[in-house]
Amino acid sequence: MAIDYGRVRTGLAVTDPMRIIATALATVETGRVMQYIKEYCAREEVDVFVVGDAKRMDGSPSESMQIIEPFVAALREVFPEKEVARVDERFTSKMAFQTMIDSGLKKKDRRDKGMIDRVAATIMLQDYMRGVRG
Specify whether the CB–CB gap between 11 and 108 falls below 8 A.
Answer: no
- 74 pLDDT above the threshold of 70: yes
133: DSSP letter: H
Between strands 48-53 and 83-88, the pairing is parallel
> Per residue in 84-129, pLDDT tens?
999 876 556 666 556 656 666 666 655 656 677 888 899 889 889 8
Would you state the pLDDT for residue 105? 61
Q: Please, how many CA atoms are within 13 Å of residue 4, restricted to the half-sphere of its CB?
A: 30
CATH number, residue 15: 3.30.420.140
Total domains, the chain = 1
Length of the chain: 134
* Residue ranges making up the domain that contains 62: 2-133
Specify whether the CB–CB gap between 30 and 10 falls below 8 A.
Answer: yes
Would you state the pLDDT for residue 127? 85
